[in-house]
Amino acid sequence: MRTTAGEQRVDVIYKRIDDEFLDPLQFRSDSMLGCPDS
């Protein structure tokens, strides 16, 4: 990752999404994110 101090190695990159999109069966049926609760 490029920073003001130069390039730095990173271990993890993640994207935060709203909780209501995590489980389309319990919250938003139109969500294409997350995985259905089994």
State the fold for domain 1-37: Rossmann fold (3.40.50)
Contact 24, 34 (CB under 8 A): yes
Over residues 1-38, the pLDDT tens digits come to: 888 999 999 888 777 777 777 777 777 778 777 666 65
pLDDT at 6: 93
Whole-structure pTM value: 0.32
CA distances from 5 to 10, 14, 16, 34, 36 (A): 14, 22, 25, 35, 42
pLDDT at 29: 75
pLDDT at 13: 76
Q: Tokens 């130069």 label which residue?
A: 6
State how far the Cα of 7 lies from the Cα of 35, in Å rounded to an integer: 34
pLDDT at 7: 94
Query: What residue spans define the domains of the chain?
Result: 1-37
